[in-house]
Amino acid sequence: MKYADEFRDKAIALGLAKTIEAETDPGRPYRFMEFCGGHTHAISRYGLEDLLPKNVRMIHGPGCPVCVLPAGRIDMAIRLAERPDVILCVYGDLMRVPGSQGASLLKAKARGADIRMVYSTIDAVRIAEENAGREIVFFAIGFETTTPPTAVMIRLAEKKQLENFSVFCNHVLTPPAMQNILESPDIRKIGRIEIDGFVGPAHVSTIIGTAPYEFFAEEFGKPVVIAGFEPLDMMQAILMLVRQVNENRHEVENQYSRAVTCGGNLRAKEEVSDIFELRAQFEWRGLGQVPYSGLKLKRTYAKYDAEVRFGMSELRVDDNPACECGAILRGVKKPVDCKLFGTVCTPETPMGSCMVSSEGACAAHWTYGRFRDHQQRRAS
């Protein structure tokens, strides 16, 4: 067993689709939000929406840390990378993310800034060791999945007594964002959000476990099913949600039991709590300011905090006012309802968060979904 192909079996997927169809009540809607971009991508890539009954609708949530990073943070990173003494190390996904006025790290690099793509935080530490005379800054981004590797790296930098190393921290947390989707003040402007259940994150949950969603399921009365990223995982999770809705239950269930436990990865959680603490609030592109949703380095690690070390000032950039990301992320509108979609806003020139990475709702619809719309139009 290699734990991948086995969970992509077409015959089983088609059987699951029949079971879902048999168990859904045609007289009511089933609206489920998948929080994770990984799930959004799997749904689009494997065409899972075509396998679901018409009244089962998937709403694509904000779960892609690259998409939700505000443009101002990109501008701050570009400004830092333009310093001649700095080498900025970044994950590849960040290179094309738009800052203000069409700026990006890729363009800054083309203009001569020393920006290096790394696969892992370990590579950033190596670069710091090899460049003793330069300041190495790691652009840290990601959900609970990607935070422990940053924590391990800071511990390693301390152990190796690296004096030329720091982190520009943009780590964010999943549960506060899920909560914000349901109860933010913006909702009054956007309209009522109708979500009957959540597909919970796969790899985020390997770290935090299933327990943090218990409050959420109880407080909001919504079922949560944690699911793996393979197509069969997704289909089973949808069936589990349909059953909870039919039986009027709102519990946390774990479809991804081969990798997720109730308590999560204790060692990883300890690494994170040793190094990081909560920010009072952090801006999410498409959601705005979300309380207690971001992390920063503890004061005892301030010398590794690039924002402190270089006195970086906060830069704010307003999103395009015509952009409908806020409503799309909450499932009130679809990508095609946005005036910008496919006109000025495409994956080559993204205007809003949902188009930025391949995991965003608009980018997934642009890459896979719009062809289905076209076929449907031709058929009708």
- Find the shortest distance in angstroms from Cβ 233 to another protein: 8
- Find the shortest distance in angstroms from Cβ 345 to another protein: 20
The candidate with the shortest Cα–Cα distance to 276, out of 152, 193, 365, is: 152
Is the Cβ of residue 229 or residue 292 nearer to another protein in the bound state? 229
**Beta bridge pairs of residue 297:** 276
Is the Cβ of residue 217 or residue 238 nearer to another protein in the bound state? 238
Whether the Cβ atoms of residue 57 and residue 30 lie closer than 8 Å to each other:
yes
Whether the Cβ atoms of residue 238 and residue 31 lie closer than 8 Å to each other:
no
Q: How far apart are CA 261 and CA 120, in angstroms?
A: 25
CB atoms within 10 A of CB 240: 20
Which residues are CB-contacts of 146 (< 8 A; sequence separation ≥ 6)?
Answer: 65, 140, 171
Is the Cβ of residue 340 or residue 355 nearer to another protein in the bound state? 355
Is the Cβ of residue 155 or residue 309 nearer to another protein in the bound state? 155
Is the Cβ of residue 12 or residue 332 nearer to another protein in the bound state? 12
Whether the Cβ atoms of residue 32 and residue 56 lie closer than 8 Å to each other:
yes
- Find the shortest distance in angstroms from Cβ 149 to another protein: 5
Residues contributing to the site for another protein (CB under 8 A): 1-4, 6-7, 11-16, 18-19, 21-22, 36-38, 63-66, 91, 93, 119-123, 141-143, 145-146, 148-149, 152, 201-204, 206-207, 229, 232-233, 236, 239, 255, 257-260, 265, 267-268, 271, 357, 359
- Find the shortest distance in angstroms from Cβ 208 to another protein: 11
Whether the Cβ atoms of residue 335 and residue 341 lie closer than 8 Å to each other:
yes
Is the Cβ of residue 232 or residue 323 nearer to another protein in the bound state? 232
Whether the Cβ atoms of residue 121 and residue 165 lie closer than 8 Å to each other:
no
- Find the shortest distance in angstroms from Cβ 300 to another protein: 20
- Find the shortest distance in angstroms from Cβ 171 to another protein: 11
Whether the Cβ atoms of residue 190 and residue 182 lie closer than 8 Å to each other:
no
- Find the shortest distance in angstroms from Cβ 179 to another protein: 19
Is the Cβ of residue 166 or residue 170 nearer to another protein in the bound state? 170
Task: Map tokens 């968060």 to a residue.
Answer: 353
Query: Which tokens hold the place of 57?
Result: 């609708």
CB atoms within 10 A of CB 195: 17
Which residues are CB-contacts of 313 (< 8 A; sequence separation ≥ 6)?
Answer: 76
Is the Cβ of residue 116 or residue 203 nearer to another protein in the bound state? 203
- Find the shortest distance in angstroms from Cβ 334 to another protein: 23
Q: Report the DSSP pairing between strands 276-278 and 295-297.
A: antiparallel
Whether the Cβ atoms of residue 172 and residue 294 lie closer than 8 Å to each other:
yes
